[in-house]
């Protein structure tokens, strides 16, 4: 099973990217996490580009990787109480063409880290709403990591007290992507 991960942060030392890297260690056997790192290459959405068929390369890549993935895990920072613009922009691209977009029916889980006290909760709530509108199948498990500057060691390893929640999110996402037994 393949889980595509996307970090909503473009910051080189991003806590959200670290969170996704740690998720790898909590994935059940046989589940591969693939990190999509081309967010910075996605140009601002312009409806005309869709109409004329001139799709940017990074958008083609995102759509293809979403289609190939069994599930998607997104970690988002919070900027001024909401989703980073770059992430929203990429999801707007991925939501087209509607309704047969690459996110439709795809199991998606959202987690988030922030240096504030609430772990990007508002951004996560907004992101879940946006993804729901695209047609993604949202997974209920949540992980809000506050004070992220204190949650990782020098090698980027997540403090053990957060492992259980991260594992629950990954397990619930993987469970949602399993074919239902006959």
The residues of the shown chain that bind ligand FNR, judged by CB under 6 A, are: 9, 11, 14-16, 77-81, 113-116, 118, 120, 148
CB nearer to ligand FNR: pick between 81 and 132: 81
CB nearer to ligand FNR: pick between 72 and 74: 74
User: Measured at CB, which residue is nearest to ligand FNR?
Assistant: 116
CB 128 within 8 A of CB 156: no
Coil vs helix vs strand at 123: helix
CB nearer to ligand FNR: pick between 77 and 107: 77
Least distance from ligand FNR to the Cβ atom of residue 53, Å: 34
CB 173 within 8 A of CB 71: yes
Least distance from ligand FNR to the Cβ atom of residue 126, Å: 11
The gap between the terminal CA atoms of the chain, to the nearest Å, is 19
CA dist., res. 171 & res. 52, Å (int):
41
Least distance from ligand FNR to the Cβ atom of residue 25, Å: 18
Least distance from ligand FNR to the Cβ atom of residue 83, Å: 10
CB nearer to ligand FNR: pick between 97 and 116: 116
- b/e map of 28-49 (b: 16 or more CB within 10 Å)? eeebebeebeebeebeebeeeb
CB nearer to ligand FNR: pick between 111 and 177: 111
Phi, psi of 32 (to 5 degrees): -110, 130
CB 158 within 8 A of CB 22: yes
Least distance from ligand FNR to the Cβ atom of residue 139, Å: 21
């Amino acid at each position: 099973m393949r889980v595509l991960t996307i970090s909503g942060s473009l910051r080189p030392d991003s806590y959200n990217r670290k969170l996704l890297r740690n998720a790898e260690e909590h994935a059940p056997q046989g589940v591969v996490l693939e990190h999509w790192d081309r967010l910075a290459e996605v140009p601002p959405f312009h409806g005309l580009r869709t109409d004329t068929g001139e799709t940017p390369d990074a958008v083609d890549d995102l759509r293809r990787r979403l289609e190939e993935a069994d599930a998607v895990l997104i970690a988002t920072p919070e900027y001024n109480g909401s989703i980073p613009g770059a992430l929203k922009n990429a999801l707007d691209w991925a939501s087209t063409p509607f309704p047969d977009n690459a996110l439709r029916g795809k199991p998606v889980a959202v987690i988030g880290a922030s240096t504030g006290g609430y772990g990007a909760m508002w951004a996560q709530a907004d992101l879940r709403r946006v993804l729901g509108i695209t047609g993604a199948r949202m997974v209920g498990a949540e992980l809000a990591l506050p004070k992220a500057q204190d949650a990782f060691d020098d090698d980027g390893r997540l403090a053990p007290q957060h492992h259980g929640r991260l594992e629950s999110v990954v397990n619930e996402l993987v469970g949602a992507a399993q074919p239902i037994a006959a």
